[in-house]
Structure 1
Amino acid sequence: MSKIGVVLLNMGGPDSLSAVEPFLYNLFSDHDIIEIPRLIQKPVARLIAKLRAEKTKHYYEVMGGKSPQREQTEQQAKALQNVLGENYKVVVAMRYWHPFTEEALRELFTEDISKIVLLPMYPQYSKTTTGSSFNEFERVFKRFPQVPVIRIISYHNHPAYIRAMVENIKEHLQSWESYFFLFTAHSLPVQVIKRGDPYKDQTEETVKLIMEHFPEVSYALGYQSKIGPVKWLEPFTDKLIEELIKSGVKRLALIPVSFVCEHSETLYELDVQYKSLAESLGVESFVRIPTLKDHPSFIEALRQLVISSLQ
């Protein structure tokens, strides 16, 4: 009997310190992220990867020598497989490190697949994340049996996803009423947004919908992980931490909103750099809310997304 294939699309991360430089090369070779003339893209990517490798390796050393993203995305896939049942086959396709899209499709087509659902692990759409993964899928899919493909574009405002975020905050934050909520999302070059990318609007909508469940709580949204000289989305999360604590905020909850599993942006930037910053400024309580990972309510949201995409 044929099955429906579900492909979880994610960024991927290095699985060893020796993988850091080739991972960075793959990332900076992506024209959907860095739009420079294609003729020079790969030499420039090689140079940036070489220049950034040592500093980036240090982040991963602090995190135990590798990114947990593959392991956590595979746990999400396993949990989703369990709730979808035997008529589905769920696989993981990473954009910049193993398992790459081709590996995922090879695994998928060990079964008789009747159609494919592409499910990005990015709740908010951007051409630099979901769009890039879709483009890579298109390039690779040509070499495989041509079955119908359904794309889930975003789910930033899906009620079940919002419910999962709300539950996750409440589970990890005792007496949340006394905290200031600082949401943090990966920043993007302003130029990308000006060209019509919906990421900023969708991120703001996610935060607004979450905060409807916490009407008494003050909150802000910041952006993190800027690289390079061009203008990126602001305010920056670290600057907000500084401003908030200096203005008298004593209890700060940091909530990653564009990540559904842990990687260097959460485990190093938030847990090491931003925590250290907050403590140096005299914060009384600093709580970083974990990402959703395989939270049952998030897996239920993913199940609903797959089922409704097929109707």
Structure 2
Amino acid sequence: MREAILLTYMGAPSTLDEIKPFLFRLFSDRDLINFGVPAFLQKPLAYLISTFRTPKVKPQYEAIGGGSPLVRYALDQANLLEKETGIKTFLGMLYSKPLLKEVVKEIERYSPDRLYVLTLYPQYSVATAGACFRDVEKFLSKKINYTFIKSWCRNSYYIEWIQKSIGKELKDLKEPFILFSAHSLPKYIVENGDIYVNEIEDTVKLVMEKFKEIPYKISYQSKVGPIKWLEPSTEEVLKELKEEKRKEVLVFPISFISEHIETLYELDVEYGELANELGLNYKRVKLDHKNLLLIKALSSEIDKLRKE
């Protein structure tokens, strides 16, 4: 049997020139962000927002090297997963190159008997993993037999990867407080029944079984626009820790599995500066995207499907 794997993700601008097209595609997606305007106004509004937001975020991408490394790191993961499983692995992004709608053509030429679709989002949300699955169904030929892996937030290899990543940083701290910073979502998505928050909480609960004596909290980052987003924000929690007279905070980006603008700039620069102003000893756990435990987390999810 001829098998193949498709890894999907929203993507990121790898160069400064890709910022505006990426933002336009992102804000045009009504399933991800509904601005509360009629559907026919979504794209015009997305164009305005991307036009005004591009010069604002461009310096941030310049500060991390002129673009996000996310796509490059995702390609690393796809290559490592292919080596681990021996199965041809493709990578497709929703809003940046390599665009999913182009990658599916390569998959169709490869013509697998069975395709396993796995997102690089451990926790499921209709706005992230759900959007990836929606576009696979939209673009991929119905002749291809494919199976979705909805979520892998409780995968034992994934949990161990987080635990060991945190453990390496704890040895230098005397009175640590662990802050799990997750990418935020518009509040209405969760109010409509999305399981994202529950899955974040499940992941954190499993991780903290190894660190039972250490206090922790979950916060949310990266909100954009005037609509209401998940709370508490990472900024708010850092200020609360100061008021509680905490001295040390170790931040783990719980919804991410590789470095990109939200970790390298938002967490490291913006919140790093805020923590410094607050007098907090602030450390952020780096994400080792090539770690064997992480690759085994992905491959073990594929193995489950292969045995069915």
Same fold (TM over 0.5): yes
Q: CA deviation at 1:291?
A: 2.3
Q: CA deviation at 1:112?
A: 3.9
Maintained 8 Å contact 1:164/1:298: yes
Structure 1 position 215 matched with structure 2 position 212: yes
Distance 1:258 1:124 in 2: 7
- Paired letter, 1:102: K
Q: CA deviation at 1:287?
A: 1.1
Maintained 8 Å contact 1:4/1:114: yes
> Aligned residue for 1:73?
74
Secondary structure at the aligned position of 1:212 is classed as helix
Query: Kindly tell me: are residues 213 and 177 of structure 1, through their superposed partners in 2, closer, same or farther at Cα, counting changes over 3 Å?
Result: farther
Instruction: Say which of 247, 251, 262 aligns to 2:248.
Output: 251
Task: For residues 187-218 of structure 1, give each alpha carbon's deviation from its aligned partner in whole angstroms, at most 9, with x where no partner exists.
Answer: 11111111000001111111111101101111
Maintained 8 Å contact 1:181/1:218: yes
> Aligned residue for 1:97?
96
Structure 1 position 309 matched with structure 2 position 305: yes
**Aligned pairs, number:** 305
Matches within 5 A, 1:39-118: 39-85=40-86, 88-118=87-117
Maintained 8 Å contact 1:89/1:108: no
Task: For residues 115-152 of structure 1, give each alpha carbon's deviation from its aligned partner in whole angstroms, at most 9, with x where no partner exists.
Answer: 1111010011111101111111111113xx61211100
Distance 1:295 1:104 in 2: 26
Using the aligned pairs only, state the percent identity: 37
Bigger drift between 288-297 and 122-131 goes to: 288-297
Distance 1:231 1:136 in 2: 26
Secondary structure at the aligned position of 1:241 is classed as helix
Kindly report the root-mean-square deviation, in angstroms, between the aligned alpha carbons of the 2 structures.
1.4
> Aligned residue for 2:5?
6
Q: CA deviation at 1:39?
A: 1.3
Distance 2:83 2:169 in 1: 25
Distance 2:149 2:190 in 1: 21
Distance 2:77 2:185 in 1: 26
> Aligned residue for 1:17?
16
Distance 2:304 2:185 in 1: 30
Structure 1 position 295 matched with structure 2 position 272: no
Instruction: Say which of 270, 277, 282 aligns to 1:280.
Output: 277
> Aligned residue for 1:271?
268
- Paired letter, 2:45: V
Moved over 4 A (4+): none
TM-score (norm 2): 0.95
Distance 1:277 1:102 in 2: 40
Query: Kindly tell me: are residues 68 and 247 of structure 1, through their superposed partners in 2, closer, same or farther at Cα, counting changes over 3 Å?
Result: same
Q: CA deviation at 1:109?
A: 3.7
Maintained 8 Å contact 1:222/1:237: yes
Q: CA deviation at 1:34?
A: 2.2
Q: CA deviation at 1:105?
A: 2.0
Distance 2:16 2:266 in 1: 18
Distance 1:280 1:56 in 2: 23
Q: CA deviation at 1:104?
A: 2.0
Maintained 8 Å contact 1:3/1:111: no
Task: For residues 152-198 of structure 1, give each alpha carbon's deviation from its aligned partner in whole angstroms, at most 9, with x where no partner exists.
Answer: 00111122211111112123442456311000001111111110000
Distance 2:66 2:245 in 1: 37
Query: Kindly tell me: are residues 300 and 177 of structure 1, through their superposed partners in 2, closer, same or farther at Cα, counting changes over 3 Å?
Result: farther
Unaligned runs of 5+ in 2: none
Distance 1:210 1:292 in 2: 17
Secondary structure at the aligned position of 2:210 is classed as coil
Distance 1:154 1:141 in 2: 21
Matches within 5 A, 1:162-241: 162-175=159-172, 178-241=175-238
Unaligned runs of 5+ in 1: none
> Aligned residue for 1:27?
26
Secondary structure at the aligned position of 1:178 is classed as coil
Q: CA deviation at 1:110?
A: 4.2
Maintained 8 Å contact 1:9/1:120: yes
- Paired letter, 1:124: Q
Structure 1 position 160 matched with structure 2 position 157: yes
Distance 1:167 1:190 in 2: 32
Maintained 8 Å contact 1:8/1:93: yes
- Paired letter, 2:294: F
